Amino acid sequence: MREKIICPACGAEMNFHAEKLIYSQTDLGARTAMDVHLEEIHTCPRCGRAESRACEGT
Amino acid sequence: MRLGWFIQKSRGVPEWKPTIDIASLPLPVDDAGEAIKDGGFSAKMNRADALAIVSPEYNHGYSGLLKHVLDSCLKEYIHKAVGIIGVSAGPFGGTRAIQDLLPVMRELGLVNIFWDVNFSNVQGVFDSEGNLLDKACVTRIDKFLKELIWMAKTLRYGRENVPLE
């Protein structure tokens, strides 16, 4: 079961609503197949804040 | 160059906030992406339910500075609404810039509305104080804003209440 994120701003349980491919940009212009990962996007239903974290297993 | 208004989150009536002039944002040019994120700009994007991007057309495309600013955030944009307003000194009203921006919006997680606004021959559309001279634009602007607000409200409900799984 996916662990919920608690909003760091107001303490409410956040809603997980998207998975997004993220291309790492640590080096300008250096992007390889190894630099892509999947990220979870969560939004707080109380204050609207967005948070993200790497998907489990990626 | 203006990024546009953004809609402040509020319980009830959408609230328009002042334009963000991206030329005034203190973003470095020796790096790119979220590594150069500006806290103030990020906070505004986080609070926003929608963006209205006012974009000029430079050399048949959108401005590199606009892309540089937009790239500095990502999670702040996911599942939010965006509408694009094109501006040009010529007759096409920034149509090429708008078309070129659509796949960028998609990759940033923003949801495009199907109305655009095009200000062509812009030097005759506003007076020196920014007042709209061409009243024929009002109907188009009204449809654009109504659709943008509808999409903003709908996506906000989805972000806060509809889980992905």
Write down the ipTM of this complex.
0.75
- Check: CB of residue B81 under 8 Å from CB of residue B151: yes
Mind giving me the DSSP string for B122-158?
GGGTB-TTS-B--TTHHHHHHHHHHHHHHHHHHHHHH
Dist CA B69 CA A23 (whole Å) = 17
Residue of A1, A14, A21, A41 to mutate for B, most B C-beta atoms under 10 A: A41
Is pLDDT of A26 > 90?
no
pLDDT in the model for residue B5: 38
Q: How close is the nearest chain A Cα to the Cα of B156, in Å?
A: 8
Residues of B in Cβ contact (< 8 Å) with A41: 75, 78-79, 109
B15-16 vs B6-8, strand pairing mode: antiparallel
Dist CA A29 CA A49 (whole Å) = 30
pLDDT in the model for residue B3: 39
Average pLDDT over residues B59-78: 94
Q: What is the mean pLDDT of chain B?
A: 86
Residue range B86-108, pLDDT digits in tens: 999 899 999 999 999 999 999 99
B14 by DSSP, 3-state: which? coil
pLDDT in the model for residue A25: 56
Residues of B in Cβ contact (< 8 Å) with A39: 75
Residues of A in Cβ contact (< 8 Å) with B35: 25-26
Average pLDDT over residues B32-61: 92
For residue B9, name the pLDDT band (cuts at 50, 70, 90): very low
CB-CB under 8 Å, A18 with B160: no
CB-CB under 8 Å, B165 with A16: yes
CB-CB under 8 Å, A39 with B75: yes
pTM, two decimals, is 0.85
Residue of A15, A31, A55 to mutate for B, most B C-beta atoms under 10 A: A15
pLDDT in the model for residue B23: 84
